[in-house]
């Protein structure tokens, strides 16, 4: 029971901590809006001429995924901040499991990331995006949650082995940008060169964005069963990895 209380308290703290800063919320929406406007309208004509349909419908699920993974990954930076200012040490000396602490922080960061994804979804409707089926929001929300948990756990694993913010940001950009651009978020996965096709299939984000796109826009590349199988397996793996590395963290 004490572990559940710890998870709940840290989950709530992560949410309050993020939404306390209005500038942070507004700033995190700048990049998704830029993608929707610059790419959505800039490449929309080319996309439709190629016979692929409405590019805003195709792009929006990818931008939602981008917003989720960037917000989720930045949650790992808070571990480094807490370590530098001493809050992490106070938390770790408490008579609770470190795994419970990690799970509470991960679920809190994932909740914030999903919230950002939903905000981007609402903003996209202003640019012409329309979900093909309102009921599809429910399974799409489930996949958004899995993506958020996966990348929050990944950021926790990375932050558990780093001590300075500059190093974390460099590694995060080195990891996140290729994962995003090679996930099919901004281009279709059909008829890719063999090498690029292998990379996109090895990328767990490809399956998450594919599932979101299927339920939001009706455009799926993989089967729903493959999407959920790969994403669940990757989420379990990275949560386990994050818990293991956080358990050995030194302050």
Locate the domains of the chain by residue range: 2-247
Q: What is the pLDDT of residue 139?
A: 93
Report d(CA 58, CA 47) in Å as an integer.
Answer: 10
Q: Residue 132: name the closest of 216, 212, 58, 52 by CA.
A: 216
Report d(CA 219, CA 71) in Å as an integer.
Answer: 25
Tokens 């950009």 map to which residue? Answer: 173
Other beta carbons less than 10 A from residue 133's beta carbon: 13
Report d(CA 161, CA 141) in Å as an integer.
Answer: 31
Rounded alpha-carbon distances, angstroms, from residue 209 to 140, 166, 213, 215, 243: 9, 29, 6, 10, 25
Say how many CA atoms lie within 13 Å of 153 toward its Cβ: 21
pTM, whole model, 2 decimals?
0.90
Residue predicted with more confidence, 4 or 145: 145
Question: pLDDT tier at 13 (50, 70, 90 boundaries)?
Answer: confident
Question: pLDDT tier at 148 (50, 70, 90 boundaries)?
Answer: very high
Q: What is the pLDDT of residue 153?
A: 92
Q: What is the pLDDT of residue 21?
A: 64
Report d(CA 45, CA 124) in Å as an integer.
Answer: 18
Residue-wise pLDDT tens digits, 55-108? 888 999 999 999 999 888 888 777 877 777 666 766 776 667 778 888 888 998
Q: Residue 75: name the closest of 171, 11, 17, 155 by CA.
A: 155
Q: Residue 159: name the closest of 213, 81, 104 by CA.
A: 81
Query: Helix 224-247 and helix 98-126: axis angle, to 10°?
Result: 140
Q: Report residue 13 CA to chain centroid gap.
A: 19
Q: Residue 74: name the closest of 140, 173, 221, 163 by CA.
A: 173
Q: Residue 212: name the closest of 184, 190, 178, 236 by CA.
A: 184
């Amino acid at each position: 029971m004490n572990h559940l209380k710890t998870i709940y308290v840290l989950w709530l703290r992560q949410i309050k901590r993020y939404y306390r800063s209005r500038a942070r919320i507004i700033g995190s929406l700048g990049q998704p809006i830029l993608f929707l406007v610059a790419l959505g309208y800039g490449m929309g004509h080319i996309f439709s001429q190629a016979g692929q349909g409405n590019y805003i419908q195709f792009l929006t699920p990818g931008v939602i995924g981008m917003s989720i993974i960037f917000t989720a990954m930045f949650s790992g930076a808070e571990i480094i901040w807490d370590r530098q200012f001493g809050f992490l040490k106070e938390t770790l000396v408490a008579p609770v499991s470190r795994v419970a602490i990690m799970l509470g922080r991960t679920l809190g960061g994932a909740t914030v990331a999903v919230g950002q994804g939903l905000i981007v979804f609402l903003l996209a409707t202003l640019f012409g995006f329309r979900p093909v089926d309102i009921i599809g929001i429910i399974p799409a929300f489930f996949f958004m949650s899995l993506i958020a948990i996966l990348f929050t756990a990944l950021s926790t694993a990375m932050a558990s082995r780093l001590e300075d913010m500059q190093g974390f940001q460099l590694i995060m950009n080195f990891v996140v940008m290729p994962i995003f651009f090679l996930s099919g978020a901004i281009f279709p996965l059909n008829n890719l060169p063999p090498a690029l096709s292998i990379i996109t299939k090895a990328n767990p984000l490809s399956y998450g964005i594919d599932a979101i796109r299927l339920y939001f826009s009706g455009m799926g590349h993989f089967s729903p069963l493959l999407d959920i199988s790969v994403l669940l397996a990757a989420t379990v793996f990275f949560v386990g990895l994050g818990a293991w590395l956080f358990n050995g963290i030194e302050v």
